[in-house]
A and B are shown apart, each in its own frame.
Chain A
Amino acid sequence: MEKRKLGKRRRKEILTGYLFILPLFIGLGVFHFYAFFNNIWISLTDRRALQEGTFIGLKNYVKVLQDGNFRQSLGNTIQYVLICVPCILVISTVLAVLLNSRIKGKGIFRTLIFFPLVTAPSAIALTWRWLLNTRYGMINNIFRAFGGEEVAWLIDKRYTLYSCAVVIIWAAIGYQVIVILAGLQNISTSYYEAARIDGASGIKQFFFITLPLLTPTLYFVLTLSVISMFKEFEIVYMLIPSTQYNTSSPAIDSSRTVVRYFYDLTFRGEFNEGYGSAISVCLFLIILVVTLIQNRLQKKWVFYA
Chain B
Amino acid sequence: MKRKNWMIYLALSIAVAVMVVPFIWMLLTSFKTFEDSTRIPLQILPEKWVLTNYQEILAVFPVAQWFMNSLLSVVISIVGQVFLGSLAAYAFARIKFPGKEALFLLCLSIMMIPEQIFIIPRYNTLSAMGLTNTRTALWIVRLFSVFAVFLMRQFILSVPNELDEAAMVDGAGHFRIYATIILPVLKAPVISLAILSGLTTWKDMMWPLIVIRDRDKMPVVSGLSTLADYFANRFPHQMAGGVLCSVPVIIFFFILQKHFVAGIASQGIKE
Contact = CB atoms under 8 A, between A and B. Distances in A.
Interface in A251-305: 259, 262-263, 266-267, 273, 276-277, 280-281, 283-284, 287-288, 291, 304
What interface size band does chain A fall in? 35 or more
* Chain B interface, >50% SS class: helix
Contacts of A94: 11
Contacts, number: 272
Given A13-B174, A109-B16, A287-B114, A122 B224 contact: yes
8 shortest A-B CB distances, which residue pairs?
A17-B97, A27-B144, A182-B265, A20-B91, A179-B268, A17-B95, A35-B121, A38-B121
B202 interface: yes
Contact of B228 (A135, A238, A273, A287): A238
B120 A42 contact: yes
B112 A287 contact: yes
A141 interface: yes
Interface of A: 13-14, 16-18, 20-21, 23-25, 27-28, 30-32, 34-36, 38-39, 42, 94-95, 98-99, 101, 103, 106, 109, 111-124, 126-131, 133, 135-136, 138, 141, 144-145, 170, 173-175, 178-183, 186, 202, 216-217, 220-221, 230-231, 233-234, 237-238, 241, 259, 262-263, 266-267, 273, 276-277, 280-281, 283-284, 287-288, 291, 304
A51 B11 CA distance: 58
Interface string B238-255: 110110011001101110
A175 B264 contact: yes
Contacts of A237: 205
Nearest to B204: A234
Contacts of B112: 287-288, 291
13 contacts: A20-B95, A35-B125, A111-B254, A120-B245, A123-B224, A130-B238, A138-B42, A141-B42, A144-B40, A182-B265, A234-B203, A263-B206, A283-B117
B221 A121 contact: yes
B87 A23 contact: yes
Contact of B239 (A38, A130, A220): A130
B88 A36 contact: no
A276 to B, nearest CB: 6
A238 B210 CA distance: 15
B228 A126 contact: yes
Interface residues of B, number: 95
B200 to A, nearest CB: 11
A231 B124 CA distance: 22
Contacts of A287: 112, 114
B22 A238 contact: no
A109 to B, nearest CB: 5
